[in-house]
Structure 1
Amino acid sequence: MRRSQLLRLVCLILILCCNFCFTLEAQQRSSIDKFLFHQGDNGLWKSVSYDDSHWRHIHQGLPDETGTYWARLHVEVVASGDTESQALFTSILGAYEIYWDGYLLSSNGIVGDSASTEVPGKIDKITQIPSYLWTDGSHVISIRISNFHSPDQLRSRYFVARLGSGPLSNSFFPLTMFGGFVILALYFLQLYALFSPQKVYLVFSLLCFSLASLLVAETWRNLLGYDYDWHHFRLISVGLLTFVVATLLPLYFLFQLSNKNKIKWMFPLILILLSIAVLAPTFDIKNLFMLLASFIFSLAIVFSAARLNKDGSKISCLAIISMIIALLFLPSNFMEMYFFPMFAIFIFTELAFFIRKMKLIDSEKNIALLNSANLEISLLRKNIQPHFILNTLTSIEQWIEDSPKTAILFIDALADEFRVLSNISHQKLIYLHQEIELCRSHLEIMSYRQNQQYTLQTENIDPMLHIPPAILHTLIENSLTHNRYTADITIFTLRQCHNLQDDSVELQLSVPISQYGHQATEGTGTGLKYIRARLTESFQQRWQFEEQADGNFWVTKITIPKSENMDEIK
């Protein structure tokens, strides 16, 4: 299966999941907010006739300390054929027993009088109300609760009870969406590790892994359930994964849109996220505000790129704005109902961008292969010209007769140049020290031929810098062609400067201008066409080539990105 076909398949999976999540109708439930509670433990409190008028309302807050308490609710029932209404959904941090008019309906865990005697119950439970109990008239729901394993942060806040079947649990679509995220994460991780080590692929893979993990943490409760004493750990894991997603999303845009100021953006974002994690009062507020901060930073990054008309920035801008609107207007249900479907749509838009980009890269790669072959032939043709070979052979014949030792040295220098040319002609990038070796071999040959000394001096050179082959060699060869040097020693100078602002490197080659020669101010010859073609092949449009006179020197400046791709050099 081709890469584009695989990505289209994953897109289809995510779209189906989003369609299900957006069209899923919420179940109708009767919220129960009139529960009364009282601390202590008395078997009479389950009785219908017990007077609970002095009990506190549940919305005033549950007990802050651990112990045993009761909750009661008076219900008016109008009997109907709706079987869904004959169930009670409860989510309570504790072990508990549920009574209907004094009759025990169900128990969840074992209610105890200490942490050692209590057995924690499940975080969620659905209790069926038998039809013979679901009759017209007034009824009392009584719940006996112990909460010795509940965490301090949640003890006084967490109590949910409503008539209805509770949250709809459907494992197919969350698991399908999880599979889509994992497939994408593994695909882009493999793409980064084996084929194209671009950091944007690694960040995108980590983002998909984080989303898959967050999806598991969010849906674990409804899919598999757990004892209530694990609820706090799940909330912590959701918060940590939300922090990771909130960090990776802006970082992805920084790499995707080639933003150079990554530290400038990420440092304040991480400070804000840490502040929210520490200061926000509840886990839900922490998660919502961390996502909101991440969306705002991402929108700022994408908007700045959209102003520069960078590819893919406008559609990403719309996706982030839609998520911000959903979070602001639907905060209570955002994480449960809208976050993952909307993020899946965002992933879909990014996949469309990647598919288009990969097609463009494949097309450019095919063109580059043809150009590379032509450039290799051009390099060899340029340096093995008939008149150069004939003149060289004539010089060798003369030296063999007059100075055999000089002839041997000349032949060695000529062999060195051809050896280096043979090694680098098929490569896209070479090390700078190889280029310098080639230039010095050529200058040594010309020193013998013209009976004067040519030298190349270097300043602040990184020998491991990557550059296209023979571009400096071509400049030096042009200078020897367009100038007639008469000094005993002619010095060429190569300098390297590093631009910290955009992490680029500038190479400056200074060659003397003789009074009997000239240097073309507008380079349009074969040699300069070769240089520009090689720069475009290696760095696309991320290079600059400038020439200008500086006193008695002709200075050529070549600016290229500092390559970190060691795989380019084989």
Structure 2
Amino acid sequence: MQISRTTLAVLVVWLAAVAAWLVVAKPDMKTVQILAGEMAPATMSADGELPQRPPADADWRPLDQRVLAGWRDPYWLRWRSTAPAVQGGADRALRFSLRGASRLYWNGRPLAGNGIVGRTVAEERPGRLDIVRVLPPSAGAGTDELVVLASSQHQGLRLLSADAFAVVAPAELLYGQAMLPWLIAAFATGALAAAYLYFLAVQRGRRRRPGARLLLALCAVGLALPMVEGWRALVGYAYPWHGPRLFVLLGLHMAAAMLLPAYLARHFGLSVPMGVRIAYPATLVAVAAFMPGFDARSAAVLLLSLLASAGLLLRVQGAQEERGPILALVLAGALAMAVAHSAFLDGPYFLLLAILMGFLLLRHAAHLRALDRHNAKLREERAQLSLQLLQRGIHPHWLMNTLTCLQELIEQAPPRASRLVESLAEQFDRLRDSSTRQSVSLEDELALCRSHLDIVGLASDHPLSLQVEADDTRLSLPPGILHAQIENALTHAGTGACAQHPFRLRVRRDNDRWTLELRSARGSAPHRGRGTGTRYIEASLATAYPDGWRFVQGVDGADWCGRIELTCAS
């Protein structure tokens, strides 16, 4: 399969963003000191006060994140470096993460604490989830040691892992370089926000294309995701907020997993079986509910979304310029997730989402601009055809014949002559009004048709009728589309045949879908259905309902049948 330039450009942009993210996010491991952790329950003193240092006989055990996640009462944590300390080593900082309040001691010297450790919920003041502390220089050549007295009384949600860790690194790395990946995320988010605003500006006042609301919702998720993801790294929060933030992230991932395939199916007009519509969200809910670990749940949900989207795109016929880049991105994302696992969630995923959303929004806006140009052309054509129909309605030959009949009726049947004059005045008034309006109600259109039939019937002495079967007539139509069909029938089938075979209009509504079926005399003209009237009907419908109309006409048994199908909000 040949790769288009657009596909290649989109892939290069995403790969470049991911590569930049990985370069700035990966620390220099030669300067990072990982500490080995231990844990032990804290024993209260005889007076019930919190201890100041761990006892010599403390029950130290290797740090078990799953066990620690369940501890609430005060406990001790201890980390020791795996390499000898550098005497006098300066400009070092500690990054410490723990869901709890804590007192910190570095080589026996106290550091600034984090919250207030307490024996009860009332005593404890929650600490922040992540803190950074500048470390004093090491005094000897031994190993560095961090001792922490902590409590986790405010854990509202029970999580599988405590995710407690301590890292020592140059202060520049912990304070400065940790922010660099989020500059890339901020750039991607800003580009997505700009595309979002551009899309809103372009579509204002225009008829929405299929899937527009789904795309807007997906874009909102794409904007919210890096903000919630970056909340911890950029702003920080007290540890009781960690559980709710994880649920919000999972909810955003679920929303993205639902919206992306739904938008693609709607945008490309793909039919999805009802069984799949039920099974897919049920699978997502089951994965989110029963898989262990938030990262595993989110990764599984997003992988399912990317695979489902790829499956839908493979069914699309044509539209390669738009389909190709989207398919390449979702396949690249699925491959990257299979390789990087949960690390994909920390940056590459919302970079993928931002680039994908930006592309979709700009393509959608391009569709709207193209549609505007097409509609402008249709409006111009419709204006010309409307003028032709207006001229046809007062065509000298037709008007001369009608006036000749009127002169005869004045002498022979004055009451009919009076009715004919009234019908002519009403017809001209309605034609003038219709030619200046974009749409008319179905009742007004039917009144125009009946007025025309009255004139023809009075002039020819062949009564003509229009029978209407409609449960709901609350519909607006482009002016003249039924009138044009009736004129065509009178021209091609003849007044006598139309008098013997009355016009019959049936109007049906199914939710937002309307069907108007007009039956008339069949006639024998070989070129019927290819004239000015038909072109006027099609141009009017295309202008009023760009993506939601269909007009077919032809012989149906003894009838000539014109069928209009509309999809509209009314």
Farther off after superposition, 231-240 or 265-274: 265-274
What CA deviation, in whole Å up to 9, does each residue of 1:386-426 have, x standing for no partner? 10111122222222333332222111212222222222224
Paired residues, number = 541
Partners of 1:492 and 1:510 within 8 A in 2:
yes
- Tell me how far apart the structure 1 counterparts of residues 277 and 193 of structure 2 sit (CA, whole Å): 26
Partners of 2:192 and 2:355 within 8 A in 1:
no
Partners of 1:215 and 1:340 within 8 A in 2:
yes
Of the three residues 507, 513, 527, the one matched with 2:516 is: 507
Pair 1:299 & 2:306 matched: no
Amino acid at match of 1:274: V
Give 2:108's aligned residue: 102
Give 1:543's aligned residue: 550
- Tell me how far apart the structure 2 counterparts of residues 555 and 33 of structure 1 sit (CA, whole Å): 87
Partners of 1:192 and 1:198 within 8 A in 2:
no
Give 2:432's aligned residue: 422
Give 1:24's aligned residue: 24
Structure 1 residue 173 displacement after superposition: 4.8
CA 1:434–1:301 in structure 2 vs 1: closer, same or farther (change >3 Å)? farther
Structure 1 residue 538 displacement after superposition: 4.2
Q: Whose relative contact order is higher, 1 or 2, with alpha carbons under 8 Å and at least 6 apart?
A: 2
Pair 1:253 & 2:255 matched: no
Of the three residues 361, 385, 406, the one matched with 1:396 is: 406
Give 2:457's aligned residue: 447
Residue 112 of structure 2: SS of its match in structure 1?
strand
Pair 1:338 & 2:348 matched: yes
CA 1:63–1:338 in structure 2 vs 1: closer, same or farther (change >3 Å)? closer
- Tell me how far apart the structure 1 counterparts of residues 111 and 166 of structure 2 sit (CA, whole Å): 15
Structure 1 residue 283 displacement after superposition: 2.2
Give 1:221's aligned residue: 232
Farther off after superposition, 235-244 or 332-341: 235-244
Give 1:528's aligned residue: 534
What CA deviation, in whole Å up to 9, does each residue of 1:118-167 have, x standing for no partner? 2211110112222234x433333222211111235127533122223558
| Equivalence map 1:312-461=2 (5 Å) | 312-460=322-470
- Tell me how far apart the structure 2 counterparts of residues 83 and 446 of structure 1 sit (CA, whole Å): 103
Amino acid at match of 2:40: H
Give me the identity figure in percent. Answer: 25
Farther off after superposition, 375-384 or 55-64: 55-64
Pair 1:142 & 2:150 matched: no
**Structure 2 residues not aligned, in runs of 5+:** 1-12, 45-50
Give 2:167's aligned residue: 162
- Tell me how far apart the structure 1 counterparts of residues 272 and 432 of structure 2 sit (CA, whole Å): 41
- Tell me how far apart the structure 1 counterparts of residues 422 and 52 of structure 2 sit (CA, whole Å): 109
Farther off after superposition, 60-69 or 171-180: 171-180
Partners of 1:36 and 1:73 within 8 A in 2:
yes
Partners of 2:38 and 2:60 within 8 A in 1:
no
Give 1:518's aligned residue: 524
Give 2:3's aligned residue: none
What CA deviation, in whole Å up to 9, does each residue of 1:252-274 have, x standing for no partner? 22332234659766544333333
Farther off after superposition, 336-345 or 275-284: 275-284
Residue 392 of structure 2: SS of its match in structure 1?
helix
Structure 1 residue 485 displacement after superposition: 5.2
Residue 335 of structure 1: SS of its match in structure 2?
helix
CA 1:495–1:319 in structure 2 vs 1: closer, same or farther (change >3 Å)? same
CA 1:415–1:490 in structure 2 vs 1: closer, same or farther (change >3 Å)? farther
CA 1:189–1:244 in structure 2 vs 1: closer, same or farther (change >3 Å)? farther
Structure 1 residue 91 displacement after superposition: 0.7
What CA deviation, in whole Å up to 9, does each residue of 1:174-218 have, x standing for no partner? 455444444444554565564434463333222222222222211
Residue 151 of structure 1: SS of its match in structure 2?
coil
Partners of 1:186 and 1:205 within 8 A in 2:
no
**Structure 1 residues not aligned, in runs of 5+:** 1-12
- Tell me how far apart the structure 1 counterparts of residues 535 and 60 of structure 2 sit (CA, whole Å): 94
Give 1:237's aligned residue: 248
Partners of 1:112 and 1:119 within 8 A in 2:
yes
Residue 169 of structure 1: SS of its match in structure 2?
helix
Partners of 2:94 and 2:167 within 8 A in 1:
yes
Amino acid at match of 1:545: V
Q: CA RMSD in A?
A: 3.4
CA 1:345–1:200 in structure 2 vs 1: closer, same or farther (change >3 Å)? same
Structure 1 residue 93 displacement after superposition: 0.7
